[in-house]
Amino acid sequence: MGEPNEDKSPDGEELRYVQYEGAKEETYLPAIRQLISKDLSEPYSIYVYRYFLYQWGDLCYMALDSSQNLIGVVVCKLEPHRSGTFRGYIAMLATQESHRGRGIATKLVSMAIDTMAARDADEIVLETEVTNTASLKLYERLGFLRSKRLHRYYLNGNTAFRLVLYLKEGTALKRPEGHGMDMMGQYQGFADGGDPLVTSGYVP
């Protein structure tokens, strides 16, 4: 596990950014589920979280306040993709409503991007609702591009944009036409109410 990253939010509150630690699952996992499930159209099974955290726990970063309460989390994966790229995927991102607009989500995503880039990822992708303007602005500020519009992508009938961040030159040319299949498979339905800082979903 990496060393905690100390930081302060714009209002001066002391924050700690830490990597998920499997040894503390009993503490962290319920808090992660509670934070993310607040904005889900359908709550995910605990097995969905374990799918990510057991295999890619080191790609999960958390923001904790001075009382060790979870106020933000990003959950990711990184593995070879059928397109021939080594692809990162931002599966879940959420912050406490009381702490939004303070740069916490940007910090969490930036930490995940840096880690995946250091591990030789070619690209990083995610999905978010087309109406989720705050989320789109966040990711586009970080260099993500809109690569595909996915009509009626979520169970609530809403349409999504697939966003991609190319980390290496020529990555887009490696991806054959037709490799834009839905990544969430049977677990569609993330972010029912347009929450600006809950994006993406489960990749089986």
Q: Per the domain annotation, does 31 fall within a domain?
A: yes
CATH assignment of the domain containing 135: 3.40.630.30
Range of the domain at 97: 5-174
Answer whether residue 192 is part of any domain: no
186 found inside a domain? no
In a domain, 184, yes or no: no
Looking at residue 175, its pLDDT comes to 52
Q: Would you give per-residue pLDDT tens digits along the chain (204 residues)?
A: 455 676 665 556 789 999 999 999 999 999 999 999 987 766 788 999 999 999 999 999 999 999 999 999 999 999 999 989 999 999 999 999 999 999 999 999 999 999 999 999 999 999 999 999 999 999 999 999 999 999 988 877 889 999 999 999 876 655 544 343 334 433 333 333 333 344 554 333
Query: Cα dist. 114→28, 55, 167, 176 in Å?
Result: 22, 18, 10, 26
**Rounded CA gap, 104 and 80, in Å?**
29
Whether 78 maps to a domain, the answer reads yes
pTM for the structure as a whole = 0.81
Cα 7 from chain centroid (whole Å): 20
Q: How many domains does the chain have?
A: 1
Element (H, E) at 51: helix 46-56
Say if CB 111 and CB 4 are below 8 A apart.
no
Place of tokens 């250091």: 118
Q: Does some domain include residue 116?
A: yes
Kindly state whether residue 185 falls inside one of the protein's structural domains: no
